Amino acid sequence: MRRRYALTLAATAMALPATFLSTGTASAATKPEVLSSWTQTSASSYNAWNSARNNQGQWASYNFDWSTDYCSSSPDNPFGFNFKLSCARHDFGYRNYKAMGTFSANKARIDSAFYEDLKRVCNGHSGATKTACNSTAWTYYQAVKVLG
């Protein structure tokens, strides 16, 4: 019982930064802290980033670069799989860590978060379609890992 309680408490504590930052009450959080919370591999990190993306005015004081070319020269919706927002978050991570001069230290995590985002898109499918989506996600991930 103690272990279950400790695991629940630890999971709750780990979720707090993303939850805290998605509320728009980030006055005590530094830009690197906010950026880190929005570029993790978890769904809660993605959701916090997307909430902030939809309310960019609340984050204006941080001067984030929200620009994106989505999936660059690759299709945003390959075979009908909507990778557009996954690509946008990937661009967000790349552009902002480059601007802060800490890109190389964070690239692998940003690429991993991208892959997790793509797989979450694929989880909305089943059977052979899900398999095709996961294969496409793997290809996109390999491309950014090597060429990004």
Q: Is the pLDDT of residue 5 over 60?
A: no
**Among 38, 64, 87, 90, the one annotated catalytic:** 90
The pLDDT of residue 119 is above 70: yes
3.40.50.880, 1.20.90.10, 3.40.50.150, 1.10.238.10: which CATH number matches 2-147? 1.20.90.10
Q: List the domain boundaries for the chain.
A: 2-147
pTM of the entire predicted model:
0.83
Tell me which of 51 and 21 has the higher pLDDT.
51
Per-residue HEC secondary structure of the chain comes to CHHHHHHHHHHHHHHHHHHHHHCCCCCCCCHHHHHHHCCCCCHHHHHHHHHHHHCHHHHHHHCCCCCCCCCCCCCCCHHHCCCHHHHHHHHHHHHHHHHHCCHHHHHHHHHHHHHHHHHHHHCCCCHHHHHHHHHHHHHHHHHHHHHC
125 in active site: no
Mean pLDDT of the 12-22 span: 43
